[in-house]
Amino acid sequence: MWDSTWQIWALLAVAGLLWFWYDSLRARERAVALGRSACERDRLQFLDDTVECVRTRPARDGQGRMTLERTYRFEFSDTGNNRRTGSIVMLGARVESLTMEPFLLQ
């Protein structure tokens, strides 16, 4: 009895970890695409072609459901000789905000 209960809990834990990993990859890919398109729109250079997840926490969406809020940081350059920071906050699959440090207009 206890042996099968343990196996079920272990299987559920593995399934939860796989879901979290897959969901995190999808959110990261979306954040990279958003950062890149924001840089292209403003004629900036999206550096390192990547984002860094700096925070993940549970939060409620607009309908009151629990989801994950992820904050990503990326770097861009306005002159090619510097690094500036931007951030993307996602609530589930929805983008809550995209902010960028002040930069020189070209």
Q: What are phi and psi of 66, to 5 degrees?
A: -75, 135
Residue 1: is its pLDDT beyond 70? Answer: no
Residue 3: per-residue pLDDT: 75
Residue 61: is its pLDDT beyond 70? Answer: yes
Closest by CA position to 71, among listed 49, 50, 100, 91: 91
Element (H, E) at 15: helix 2-41
User: What mean pLDDT do residues 48-64 have?
Assistant: 94
Residue 104: is its pLDDT beyond 70? Answer: yes
Residue 106: is its pLDDT beyond 70? Answer: no
Closest by CA position to 70, among listed 92, 86, 49: 92
Share of the chain above pLDDT 70, in %: 97
Domain total in the chain: 1
The pLDDT confidence band at residue 103, using thresholds 50, 70 and 90, is confident
Provide the whole-model pTM.
0.86
Task: Quote the CA–CA distance of 57 and 59 in Å, as a whole number.
Answer: 6
Does the residue 42 lie in any domain? yes
